[in-house]
Structure 1
């Protein structure tokens, strides 16, 4: 290449980099919205409200959390995927998002193409819990009881990660329960606390407070090892479902058209905030583990989750028109 051409190419590249950097620094120029596609009170909502104040301070703009539930989380997700204001973010259960394409025959959005991952935020294992009146103190007793009387199993949404985890346990143990779908974790927890449903599998972050208050009885945790916060509660794997692990992953996403420089800046700030001692300690005390990823790592993780859950969904036979 001619030296003059090389210099021109370099100058153009530097100019583009400077323009991109300036664009990122100028962003955000107005209120940021974190859309949670579920009702208030669930794991995603808890995390969104935990990071919103610090995110507002970091960017010098108001940050509001908006709950847009509906269609098992697809209403709020579609809203963000199609937003073009550059200031609308999505905070959701990444596992549920990965499952969506396998459960629904048709979606108004493509999660792999219309959204970009900013960073993962936290992980909390699922807890298998029952209403205190249920006469079972471990998984084996629950399975035996389910064969004698009808047990309603509350799920945060059809095709959600807790739903698929429940299906996996059912198939592995021969349990028999009826799935009752809800619009989010808070409602599923509420009805189980009230005794309208008897069994629930849900993220520890939102469920642990009810266990600690004695309103729900925990029979197992879906992690490879026991959780210090739960004392001697055995894992589901220990109770006969070999190798069983499941959980709720919360992550932050943006529309695919978001400029790379903005994506990088947002990822850096959110990662710093979620790792800060105040936020981390708050989440850990409720059973969540802070897990962050770069946008590239997030993309790779999402693809692995999508493939893994596709097999589970196929085995379950769950499909929604």
Structure 2
């Protein structure tokens, strides 16, 4: 009898555990949802993650918090998500942890990028080239001329990842050699840019737009294939005569491989639902980004295409 009771108790426990599993899309979420991003506070990734978290929290009926884990080319954030094992932790990132890290950390990457499965892209990112307002240049070609004239006096910085390959290639083809200055905080980079201690900054337009609007810096080009609707008079890098600097950026959600396909689909469906929120779209537009939710398959294609483009690019212009 005791054995029977134990067996029944065990079966009941298993059944209850199964209904509470984070992979059960019907009952999810059962606890606080964490969105980990590799970007520091104030960056484009951070300022878009927060309104998304706010809208998702209302939809899910559970708190959704954003946790910044910057540094190490996104490795810290990616490994934190992969090691979470709670079914309630998402990665919100650009392509770096899934694309350029395969090159930057070839043979030593502490995780397998393919263990991060796509859920949906959430934002179309316009990448801007910013220069100090005091710099006597209003175009990429004029910047190149100034850098040649003031050899050894200019430097550059930008969002870690694919731009670590694209910008040096652009500089090399332009015949100029600028050292890269690393920054842990976006605010420090923007301060140096406005004070002419940094002369070339490649990062999300959302990061630079406030200072551009107040005249502290100038945006001289957009790396995307199309001009930004937020600065329609600013040409693309290709239009400026530098197609090697063309780059399409995104911000999207990824989850550990262990999360069920059903739950990934559920999260994607909820992201598509808030994509129709006019208030959220307006908040994205206000900072120079476009709310654009894709399918998981579309995000996977974006990642695959970026990997292929970086591979081709590094063969043509070795770092």
Normalised to the residue count of structure 1, the TM-score between the two structures is 0.85
1:67 and 1:261 mapped to 2: Cα distance?
A: 27
Q: Which of 144, 149, 154 matches 1:151?
A: 154
Pair 1:236–1:252, CA change in 2 (3 A)? same
Residue 306 (structure 1) shift: 1.2
Gapped runs of 5+ residues in structure 2?
Answer: 1-18
SS in 2 for 1:26: coil
The answer to whether the aligner puts 1:127 opposite 2:121 as a matched pair is: no
Q: Which of 111, 115, 118 matches 1:109?
A: 111
SS in 2 for 1:147: helix
1:287 equivalent in structure 2: 288
Gapped runs of 5+ residues in structure 1?
Answer: 1-18
2:222 equivalent in structure 1: 221
Is the contact made by 2:22 and 2:87 (CA closer than 8 Å) also made in structure 1? no
1:10 equivalent in structure 2: none
1:93 and 1:186 mapped to 2: Cα distance?
A: 19
Aligned residues: 298
Residue 186 (structure 1) shift: 4.5
Is the contact made by 2:166 and 2:244 (CA closer than 8 Å) also made in structure 1? no
Residue 184 (structure 1) shift: 5.7
Residue correspondence of structure 1 range 12-161 to structure 2 within 5 A: 23-95=24-96, 97-105=98-106, 106-112=108-114, 114-149=115-150, 150-157=153-160, 160-161=161-162
Normalised to the residue count of structure 2, the TM-score between the two structures is 0.86
1:173 and 1:314 mapped to 2: Cα distance?
A: 18
Residue 128 (structure 1) shift: 1.1
Is the contact made by 1:94 and 1:302 (CA closer than 8 Å) also made in structure 2? yes
Q: Name the stretch that deviates more: 291-300 or 167-176.
A: 167-176
Residue 245 (structure 1) shift: 2.3
